[in-house]
Structure 1
Amino acid sequence: MSKPVRIGIIGAGGIVKSRHLPALLAMPEVEIVAVCNSSLESSRRFCSEHVPQAEPMEKWWELASRDDINVVWIGATPYMHSECSVYALKAGKHVFCQARMARSLGEAQLMWEASISNSELVAALCPPPQGMRGDRTMRRLLAEGVIGRVHQVRLNSLNGNWLDPIAPAHWRQRVEISGLQVLTFGIYVEVIQRWLGDITSVQADGAVITPVRDGYTVDVPDFLHVLCTFREGARGNLTFSGVASHPPQDAIEIYGSEGTLTYNFITDEIRLSKRGGDMQVIPIPADEVKEWTVERDFINAVLDPKAPRPKPDFLEGMKYMRVVQAAAEALESGELVRVAA
Structure 2
Amino acid sequence: MTSTEQPIRIGIIGAGGIVKTRHMPGLRAIPGVQITQVTNRSVASAEAFCREFAPEAKAVARWEELASSDEVDVVWIGTHPYMHAEMTCYALQHGKHVFTQARMAASVPGANQMWEASIRYPELVTAICPAPHGMKGGELVKRLLAEGAIGTPHQLLLHSFNDAWLDPQAPAHWRQLSDLSGIQILTLGIYTEVLQHWLGHIVEVEARGNVVIPERAGVEVDIPDFVNVMAKFRSGIEATMLFSGVAAHAPTDKLWIFGSEGTLSYDFNTDDLQLGKRGGKLESVEIPTEMQRSWTVERDFIAAVRNPSAPRPRPDFGEGMNYMRVVHAVWEAMESQAAVKVR
TM-score range normalised by the length of the shorter chain: over 0.9
Q: Distance in 2 between matches of 1:335 and 1:91?
A: 43
Alignment match of 2:78 (pick from 75, 78, 91) = 75
Alignment of 1:40-189 (within 5 A): 40-189=43-192
Matched residue, 1:321: 324
Aligned to 1:198: 201
Aligned residue identity for 1:165: P
2:282 paired residue number: 279
- Give the aligned CA root-mean-square deviation in angstroms: 0.9
**Corresponding letter in the other structure for 1:30:** V
Give the alignment partner of residue 256 of structure 2, picking from 248, 253, 257: 253
Task: Tell me the amino acid that sits aligned with residue 103 of structure 2.
Answer: R
Runs of 4+ in 1 over 2 A off after TM superposition: none
Q: Quote the residue 1:331 is aligned against.
A: 334
Give the deviation of 1:6 after TM superposition: 0.2
Q: CA deviation at 1:45?
A: 1.1
Q: Deviations over 1:253-302 (max 9, x none)?
A: 00001100000000001000011111111110111010100000000000
SS, match of residue 188 in structure 1? helix
**1:229 maps to which of 216, 227, 232:** 232
Equivalent pair of 1:149/1:256 in contact (CA under 8 Å): yes
TM-score by length of 1: 0.98
1:301 counterpart = 2:304: yes
Identity across the alignment (%): 56
Take 1:121 and 1:53, find their aligned partners in 2: how far apart are those partners? Answer: 25
Number of corresponding residues:
339
CA 1:21 to 1:290, structure 2 compared with 1: closer, same or farther past 3 Å? same
CA contact (8 A) 1:102 1:179 kept: yes
Residue 52 of structure 2 aligns to a residue in which SS? helix
Letter in 1 for 2:246: V
**Secondary structure of the equivalent of 1:237?**
strand
Alignment-mate amino acid for residue 97 of structure 1: T
**Of residues 313, 318, 328 in structure 2, which corresponds to 1:310?**
313
Separation in 1 of the partners of 2:147 and 2:40? 47
For structure 1, which runs of at least 5 residues remain unmatched after alignment? none
Correspondence 1:243 to 2:246: yes
TM-score by length of 2: 0.98
Structure-2 separation of matches of 1:314 and 1:85: 11
> In 1, Cα distance between the equivalents of 2:52 and 2:333?
45
Amino acid aligned to 2:326? V
Quick check: 1:3–1:31 contact (8 Å CA) kept in 2?
no
Which moves more between the two structures, 2-11 or 14-23? 2-11
